[in-house]
Amino acid sequence: MLGFALRRILVAIAVALTVSVASFLLLHLSGDLATAIAGPEATGEQIAAVRAQHGLDQPLVVQFGTWAWRALHFDFGRSFYFPEQVTDLVAARMPVTLTLGIIALAVALLVAIPLGVLAAFYRDTWLDRAALAVSVLGQAMPSFWFGLTLILIFSVNLRWLPVSGNATWKHFILPAVALGYYAMPAVMRLTRNGMLEVLSSDYVRTARAKGLPPRKILIRHALRNAVIPVIALAAVQFGFMLGGSIVIEAVFSLQGLGQLAWESIARNDFPVVQAIVLVLAMIYIALTLAADLLNALLDPRLRS
């Protein structure tokens, strides 16, 4: 188990490094960074000053090395745009994104797990097919479109909920639903399949034969076993949602990490983008790692 864990952690570090190199190179593809930072009205002289000031005149390898060394010490430098340290900026926006992600995940699980259980129990009935339809729709709809549709129904027409911002808890409802819907289908299907497998197993048949009530069989016997892989999947989905919140945060004007990332890309605010990509990648990698280790712990066959 220890060897397996070590291998996994090494792979995770390699992934993190690749992600940071890739994000570093990608940003250099969108034209001269110094021109972008200096802004549309800058003169050649000002652009040259910016280039020198931010070390953009150094070779790429040197630039990356400098950045990576500082990043290891949690120093992502100063934002090109805001007069602030990147670490402070990211720390200030992080809670909004995490709050949104946690609520969205809770919404997804609260809907997906019962729906998956019911779909499995009422297999091949209209309920099963309806659940399937809901999940297909969730995967097919672009999240910004779904978000705007929610705004249209619940804010503009019904006037129940605010359109944008993060002033109160009410502001989180629509974005969390929009984001949660994104994670819901996979969880729902995994629950359904797990339940189907468990329901056809011998011990459930035994439980049935003993005359236990269906609810008891479902919750106590079947769900407990079926839900284990779901927990691992949920961890991964949470990571996905942190990335997916970029669009949702823009639509609902939530000042989280996603929106900061989006705007920083548009402004070529290089240090901020790099820090966010790295932080999100690290969270994602950590979650995946945790899920892998958890699975391996539960299922010894995966360790080989």
Partner 1 sequence: MRKAGALVAGLLLAGIAGPALAAKANDTLVYASDSEPENLSPYHNNLREGVILARNVWDTLLYRDPATGQHQPMLATAWTWVDPVTLDLTIRDGVTFHNGDPLTPEDVAFTFNYVLTPEAKIVTKGNVDWMKSTEVTGPHSVRIHLKAPFPAALEYLSGPTPILPAAYFKKTGLDGFSKAPVGTGPYRIVSVESGRSVKMVRNDKYWPGSPIGRAKIGKLEFRIIPDADSRMAELMTGGVDWIWRVPTDQAEQLKSDPTLTVVSAETMRVGYLQFDVQGRAMENSPIKDVRVRQAIAHAIDRKAMVDNLARGGARVMNALCFIEQFGCTEEGVPTYAYDPAKARTLLKEAGYPNGFDIDLSAYRERDYAEAVIGYLRAVGIRARLNYLRYAAFRDALRAGKTSIGYQTWGSFSINDVSAFTGIYFRGGEEDLARDPTVIADLQAGDTSTDPAIRKAKYAEALKRIGAQAYALPMFSYPSNYAFSADLTFTAQTDEVPRFYAASWKK
Q: Which residues bind partner 1 (CB under 8 A)?
A: 30-33, 35-36, 39-44, 46, 81-83, 92-93, 142, 144-145, 148-149, 151-152, 155-157, 159, 162-166, 250-253, 255, 259-260, 262-263, 268
Q: How far is CA 292 from CA 1, 108, 200, 271, in A?
A: 12, 21, 26, 31
End-to-end CA distance of the chain: 9
Which of 86, 151 has the CB closer to partner 1?
Answer: 151
Q: Which is nearer to partner 1, 8 or 78 (CB)?
A: 78
User: Measured from the CB of residue 178, what is the shortest distance to partner 1 in angstroms?
Assistant: 12
- Beta carbon of residue 144, minimum distance to partner 1 (angstroms, whole number): 7
Q: How far is the CB of 248 from partner 1 (least distance, A)?
A: 10
* Tokens of residue 291, six digits: 């899920």
Would you say 125 or 149 has its CB closer to partner 1? 149
Least separation, in Å, of the C-beta of 60 and partner 1? 17
Q: Name beta bridge partners: 78.
A: 85
CB of residue 277 to partner 1, shortest distance in Å: 19
Question: With contact defined as beta carbons under 8 Å apart, do 238 and 101 qualify?
Answer: yes
Give Cβ neighbours of residue 271 (< 8 Å, ≥ 6 apart).
67, 76, 77, 78, 79, 80, 86
Nearer to partner 1, 84 or 299 (CB): 84
Of residues 10 and 153, the one with the C-beta less far from partner 1: 153
What's the DSSP call for residue 142? -
* Cα 171 from Cα 103, distance rounded (Å): 12
